[in-house]
Structure 1
Amino acid sequence: MNIVTQCCGIALLIIIAYFYKRQKKVDLRSSRYFGRALMVGLVCLILDVVSVFAIMADRLYGGSIGSPSIVVDIICKLYLIALMFMAYFGFAYTTTLMPVTQHGEIIIQRASFFIYLTGAAVTFVVPIDYYTNGTNITFSFGPSCIVTYLFSFYFLIITFVMVLIYRKRVPWNITISMISWVLCGSLTAGIQFFHPNLLLVGFGTALGLFVLFLELENPVIRIDRTTGLFNLSTFQMYIEDFYKKDLQFSYIYVKIIDDLASTSERYSAIMMSAANYFGNLPHSKTFYDGQSGYIIVFRDPVAASGKAEEINHRAHKFCEEKGINFIEAFETQGRRADSVTEILELLGQLSVNGEYSDSNIIVMTDSMYERLRQERNMAKEVENAIAEDRIEPFFQPIYSTNEDAFTGAEALVRIRREDGSIVPPGMFIPVTEKTGQVTNIGDIMFEKTLDLIKNGGLADLGVKFIDINLSVLQCEDDTLSDRYLQKMREADVPPQMFCFEITETAMIVDRDSLLKNLSAFRAAGCSCSLDDFGNGESNLNYVVDMPINFIKADRSMVTKYTESSRVGLIMDSMIHMAKGLSLKVVAEGVETAEDLNAMENLNIDYIQGFYFSKPLPKDEYITFLKKNKRTA
């Protein structure tokens, strides 16, 4: 009898079911459907084998070919109906993986189930025939089989169409796995349709389920190997179920902060100890984010509230014993986030934007979500501005007291909105420093300033240097000086026209890379300056060691110089130190005639501020230079 492939399929599904049942699983809607699909697949294959035996028995014990008994008729049609149900169930399983609402999912499944019932009824009513040679070839055929093929192909086609529609909104492995499922069913059904003696459809179903198990439903792929807890991708799928069902949930997030010098053995032991505790909390599911963070999800906000203080107490004790630290956050209304992605973004920013309670637990608030959304929108605005060339340098003139002329300027970044208005730098610079976009902006500012120096005739207007601000991230780039100096050579612009500004914060981040870049700039003829001196991590040893030409007095010191005797003493000392180190001093934030007179009396070398001019767009800056050019 030709039942070898069916028996192989049954064995394969039994093995899958064994491994599937013995592993711990998170309560996902798709997983429940997959478990049912395994049972349906087994029933389908068993009915396939039983139908072959029934046909053979009918042939051996008095039935006539082409006129099957009522029992054989029912058994064969039950197999066909089960086969059609498997195709329907594959489509229903697919809907649980797609980003549709639960209401939409229910409507789709009910409509498709009605179509299945229609197909099952027609299959049961129309006649069926079969053939057997009495030994190794047995199969059914006729109108009932054709109806089954048509309806099964219908479900395979709409499964394929749904996957194509949502392919950009689901992970690639879901798309590939569901297409593989469709191909397994379609190819084996097509082969059996043209060669009915090859009973491959049942085995094709088992093979498709095997692919789904390996790629999507294998519990092992949902488990983090270090901790034995559910991993981050499983957390995303689990929470998406809450969004689909429009259900509220709560969660507690605990992040362990260990010493960077900790050994891998110590780190693993700490993570396992924490996982053993968090993973055994009742009425919850615990997930590990892969970066020392544990997310404990509760369906009941009351249960979560009761556990937050207990976890905080246990975590304090645990971390004291291990000599480590931790952050704990508590969210009673998980649905305040627009999506799982927003939850993960917020958790990633807790240490920066966290609002702590009296017990040192970060309590999620509406304002935290609002800040996150504002930052995300601004990051998108910056991304679009970069793509659409809306990053502009504005230039604030710098006045030389010795030459009585505007011999320099500072290039300050601005973003022009699509409507022509300007985004204030305070709104986007902190965001770009978090996202890393500041490096792209820095490169754009350099290239546009380089173009102005080359083509704007600045040297003829008395300009001797333009200040370019370097971000912390730029300072950490070992290739920065090589790239910029190469572009100066290609543009035939003398390096002396550039002065690169760093902040005191940049000096303490990656000092080796910073020194390499600044030394290369200085060796090529560029100038370097220390910005906002007196308003950061001031360390005179750093100033002595840095290859700089200028220091810029912080704006707050300039404005308070005439008001505070202490500030006056500090300014006097700073200028004395600068002169002793052969450094030039630039006073920023000079806004009044009183400020100007005070700075000139201190013998400040350069003055910058609104007293002379606000930062100007390129064309207005050129006009300013022409208007204020010193005549011989």
Structure 2
Amino acid sequence: MNIEIQCCGLILMITILIMNNLSGRGRFILYSSKLFVAALLVSIGTICFDILSMVALYYIDSIPMWLTEISCKAYIISLVFEATSSLVYSMYDCFSYKRYRYFAYTALVLDIISSVVIAALPIKFNVTDPQHAFTEGPSVLATYAACLGVLCATVFLLIRYGKRMNKQRFRGVMLWVICWIVAAGIQFFNNALLLIGFATGIGMTVLFAILENPFAWIDRDSGVFNLPMLHEYMRQQYNRSKRFSMISISFATHSGLIEAEDDLRRSLASYFESYAGTRVFRNNRSGFVMIFDYGTKDIQGILKSLRRDFSKEWIYGKNHKSSLLAPLFLVMEDSLITGSASKVFALSNYASNTSVDDTGTVIYMDEQMVKDAMEFEKCKNEMISAMKQDRVVVFYQPIWSNEEKKFVSAEALVRIRKADGSIIPPGVFIPVAEATGHILELGRIVFEKVCRFIRDKHPMDLGIEYVEVNLSVKQCEQRELSAVYRGIVQKYGINPAYINLEITESSTIEIRQNVIENMHDLIRFGINFSLDDFGNGQSNLDYIIDMPVAIVKFDRNMTQSYFTNERARLVMSTIVDMIHKMHLKIVAEGVEHREELAELDRIGIEYIQGFYFSRPLPEPEFMEFVKKYNFDQTFNV
């Protein structure tokens, strides 16, 4: 029965070895895969020695005693090496490569010492029942002690350094160790039941399925290495201080095409692999990464070739389809620039989030980019933390009515408060929020806080007629925007007329239909709209014609230009007259001096916003400010 169990374990492990070798694509691209195969071969050798020792015990009367002793001691010594191989494999993630090598050599030396001790001690053979023969005596006890020591060290190190390990590796190794401990425990109390070999086979199967299956590292759509493999490979190279060069190719403009076309993905993957000496990875749904050993390739030459080929239409597929792709090239000529895999991915995200998509655009990773990306990542993490910990705060900047000579509205402006109480200005975190998509959650939080402010603080009792809330470009893209905002207003039970949503010109270029549908739906609900930042960037009067807005807000630059440029003065005067003829009202932003206020009042601009009256204020200070100047005393204009 025992030999049948061992044969089952042997078959399992030989099957794993065959499956591992069936994948010809870079089986040993990861050093951990080499360690796994080494541990697998040690385990196969252990089972072979186990079977050989059982045969020797069965025929103990027919063969020389020294041969039986050698066979049995070879088996129990191999058990120590097998336990150590699991320990060495397990700890690969936990240390720097230099420390890991020291650790592995130390384990090997201890194994050799243990082997000498086990070989020197006497061993006894129990062959009372030839079908269930086994060994015992000092040599066997020394083997159990050595294996127990290795297993205890493995468990201790897993607990001590488990957080540094790949989570899947941690789970896989723990299952392997548990199989070993259970089998060894059973075999210790029942020497006739030999389970360690079979348990090792089960443990190896678990590890292979969870971690070391080479097919799991391949992207099915393109046939190249996938994103998890890219993470592991980069982490390994940095851990081993192996320098490399990288070209990342992203197809941002045509991401939908790349995702939809299997033929195109395979065509691109084959093209990238045609460059000798490159390892190609699928970075995301619409991108690839080429990695070269440092100093082995002319990166500039390869980049020149890539740009030339992608400047033409790309022919692919059985039907010879063609498409003009617009890749973004991110180039890292030396991995020492970043120093870690996490920084490489942070830089990649930073580049894709902040770069303008244009055919043939090339971005080089340099020290300044590393600093910018780290600041970007730091700001992003601070923003995410603030949203989770309710450190997003809303300030209010009062808006003056030239007609009523009092403050009648306010603009809600978001700020982020750090854990130490300091404030991050919007110019720092808003671009990050927009680039990463967190602006959607941030916008929702701000809108909820404004609705709660209106409900709880009753600013309308002080003469405030409505509060302006900014809508980002990303928010305007959302078809469900109207339903979400109507739900929030209803949740707080406030009058929808107390809300005025500001949209920007840039948010209406490609998604104008979505914007208009949402606007009409919210206007029917009772919310009004302003066109914000008029005169900034893509200024065009047809925005005012198409958008159902009630107020137009002049950008600060446009307001200031009126006082410094004669042509700007003439243009702005004409625009003011046209807007008024459309029965719309105007807010002038960026007013800082009394003379500016008087002049804007003279040409008929209804509302004024700027530092002349007040900077944005926290809720309590805003309420005190409005109460003071709307009731207690008149603002000296």
Amino acid in structure 1 at the alignment position of 2:299: S
Partner of 2:73: 77
What pairs up with 1:236-315 in 2 under 5 angstroms?
Answer: 236-256=231-251, 259=254, 262=257, 267-305=261-299, 307-309=301-303, 311-312=305-306, 315=309
Shift of 1:179: 1.4
> Residue 462 of structure 2 contacts residue 630 of structure 2 at CA under 8 Å; is this kept in 1?
yes
| Alpha-carbon spacing, 1:329–1:385, altered in 2? closer, same or farther (3 Å) | closer
> Residue 497 of structure 2 contacts residue 526 of structure 2 at CA under 8 Å; is this kept in 1?
yes
Q: Deviations over 1:243-292 (max 9, x none)?
A: 21223221122234574664977x32222222223224333322222423
| Alpha-carbon spacing, 1:174–1:258, altered in 2? closer, same or farther (3 Å) | same
Amino acid in structure 2 at the alignment position of 1:466: V
Shift of 1:381: 2.1
What pairs up with 1:542-621 in 2 under 5 angstroms?
Answer: 542-621=543-622
Shift of 1:91: 0.6
1:36 pairs with 2:32: no
CA–CA distance in structure 2, aligned partners of residues 127 and 278 of structure 1? 61
> Residue 59 of structure 1 contacts residue 134 of structure 1 at CA under 8 Å; is this kept in 2?
no
| Alpha-carbon spacing, 1:489–1:339, altered in 2? closer, same or farther (3 Å) | same
| Alpha-carbon spacing, 1:15–1:418, altered in 2? closer, same or farther (3 Å) | closer
CA–CA distance in structure 2, aligned partners of residues 473 and 377 of structure 1? 22
CA–CA distance in structure 2, aligned partners of residues 450 and 14 of structure 1? 67
CA–CA distance in structure 2, aligned partners of residues 587 and 417 of structure 1? 32
- SS of structure 1 residue aligned to 2:327: strand
- SS of structure 1 residue aligned to 2:407: strand
Shift of 1:134: 5.8
Q: Deviations over 1:448-495 (max 9, x none)?
A: 333332333422322111111122233334444444444444444322
Residue range with higher mean Cα deviation, 223-232 or 506-515: 506-515
1:14 pairs with 2:14: yes
CA–CA distance in structure 2, aligned partners of residues 554 and 357 of structure 1? 28
Of 194, 203, 213, the residue aligned with 1:199 is: 194
CA–CA distance in structure 2, aligned partners of residues 619 and 354 of structure 1? 40
Residue range with higher mean Cα deviation, 291-300 or 216-225: 291-300
Q: Deviations over 1:140-167 (max 9, x none)?
A: 2222222222222332233233333444
| Alpha-carbon spacing, 1:169–1:515, altered in 2? closer, same or farther (3 Å) | farther
CA–CA distance in structure 1, aligned partners of residues 458 and 287 of structure 2? 56
What pairs up with 1:430-579 in 2 under 5 angstroms?
Answer: 430-508=431-509, 510-579=511-580
Partner of 1:378: 379
Amino acid in structure 1 at the alignment position of 2:77: I
CA–CA distance in structure 2, aligned partners of residues 10 and 526 of structure 1? 73
Shift of 1:581: 2.5
Amino acid in structure 2 at the alignment position of 1:8: C
Partner of 2:158: 163
> Residue 255 of structure 1 contacts residue 292 of structure 1 at CA under 8 Å; is this kept in 2?
yes
What pairs up with 1:192-231 in 2 under 5 angstroms?
Answer: 192-231=187-226
Partner of 2:429: 428
CA–CA distance in structure 1, aligned partners of residues 479 and 311 of structure 2? 43
CA–CA distance in structure 2, aligned partners of residues 360 and 472 of structure 1? 24
Of 92, 101, 112, the residue aligned with 2:96 is: 101
> Residue 591 of structure 2 contacts residue 608 of structure 2 at CA under 8 Å; is this kept in 1?
yes
Partner of 1:339: 340
CA–CA distance in structure 1, aligned partners of residues 358 and 534 of structure 2? 36
> Residue 385 of structure 1 contacts residue 416 of structure 1 at CA under 8 Å; is this kept in 2?
yes
> What value does the CA root-mean-square deviation take over the aligned residues?
2.8
| Alpha-carbon spacing, 1:486–1:313, altered in 2? closer, same or farther (3 Å) | closer
Of 30, 47, 50, the residue aligned with 1:48 is: 50
TM-score (norm 1): 0.91
| Alpha-carbon spacing, 1:534–1:258, altered in 2? closer, same or farther (3 Å) | closer
Of 134, 137, 142, the residue aligned with 2:137 is: 142
> Residue 238 of structure 2 contacts residue 339 of structure 2 at CA under 8 Å; is this kept in 1?
no
CA–CA distance in structure 2, aligned partners of residues 356 and 536 of structure 1? 18
CA–CA distance in structure 2, aligned partners of residues 29 and 555 of structure 1? 58
| Alpha-carbon spacing, 1:278–1:486, altered in 2? closer, same or farther (3 Å) | closer
CA–CA distance in structure 1, aligned partners of residues 215 and 339 of structure 2? 29
Q: Deviations over 1:573-631 (max 9, x none)?
A: 33233223321111111112332122112211111111222212222222221221157
CA–CA distance in structure 1, aligned partners of residues 254 and 172 of structure 2? 41
CA–CA distance in structure 2, aligned partners of residues 459 and 314 of structure 1? 63
Question: Tell me, which stretches of 5 or more residues in structure 1 are unaligned?
Answer: 64-68
Q: Deviations over 1:522-572 (max 9, x none)?
A: 223222111011224344444333232111011111111133333233323
> Residue 315 of structure 1 contacts residue 326 of structure 1 at CA under 8 Å; is this kept in 2?
no
> Residue 561 of structure 1 contacts residue 567 of structure 1 at CA under 8 Å; is this kept in 2?
yes
- SS of structure 1 residue aligned to 2:61: helix
Q: Deviations over 1:184-208 (max 9, x none)?
A: 2122222222222222111211221
Residue range with higher mean Cα deviation, 505-514 or 352-361: 352-361
Q: Deviations over 1:301-327 (max 9, x none)?
A: 352436434543553366555422222
Question: Tell me, which stretches of 5 or more residues in structure 2 are unaligned?
Answer: 316-321
Q: Identity over the aligned pairs, expressed in percent?
A: 33
> Residue 354 of structure 1 contacts residue 368 of structure 1 at CA under 8 Å; is this kept in 2?
no
Partner of 1:367: 368
CA–CA distance in structure 2, aligned partners of residues 80 and 610 of structure 1? 84
Partner of 2:149: 154
Amino acid in structure 1 at the alignment position of 2:10: I
| Alpha-carbon spacing, 1:274–1:260, altered in 2? closer, same or farther (3 Å) | closer
- SS of structure 1 residue aligned to 2:59: helix
Shift of 1:55: 1.4
Amino acid in structure 1 at the alignment position of 2:410: A
CA–CA distance in structure 2, aligned partners of residues 256 and 435 of structure 1? 17
| Alpha-carbon spacing, 1:390–1:335, altered in 2? closer, same or farther (3 Å) | same
What pairs up with 1:398-409 in 2 under 5 angstroms?
Answer: 398-409=399-410
Shift of 1:54: 1.3
Partner of 1:235: 230
Residue range with higher mean Cα deviation, 193-202 or 480-489: 480-489
Amino acid in structure 2 at the alignment position of 1:6: Q
> Residue 252 of structure 2 contacts residue 357 of structure 2 at CA under 8 Å; is this kept in 1?
no
Residue range with higher mean Cα deviation, 516-525 or 50-59: 516-525
Shift of 1:509: 5.1
CA–CA distance in structure 1, aligned partners of residues 564 and 535 of structure 2? 17
> Residue 529 of structure 1 contacts residue 552 of structure 1 at CA under 8 Å; is this kept in 2?
yes
> Residue 57 of structure 2 contacts residue 127 of structure 2 at CA under 8 Å; is this kept in 1?
yes
CA–CA distance in structure 2, aligned partners of residues 481 and 313 of structure 1? 43
> Residue 258 of structure 2 contacts residue 265 of structure 2 at CA under 8 Å; is this kept in 1?
no
CA–CA distance in structure 2, aligned partners of residues 387 and 19 of structure 1? 46
Runs of 4+ residues over 6 Å off in structure 1? 355-359
- SS of structure 2 residue aligned to 1:607: strand
Q: Deviations over 1:96-123 (max 9, x none)?
A: 2x24211221232233333323332222
Partner of 1:66: none
CA–CA distance in structure 1, aligned partners of residues 461 and 88 of structure 2? 74
| Alpha-carbon spacing, 1:545–1:38, altered in 2? closer, same or farther (3 Å) | same
Residue range with higher mean Cα deviation, 393-402 or 434-443: 434-443
TM-score (norm 2): 0.91
Amino acid in structure 2 at the alignment position of 1:51: S
- SS of structure 2 residue aligned to 1:227: coil
CA–CA distance in structure 1, aligned partners of residues 111 and 419 of structure 2? 53
Alignment size in residue pairs: 624
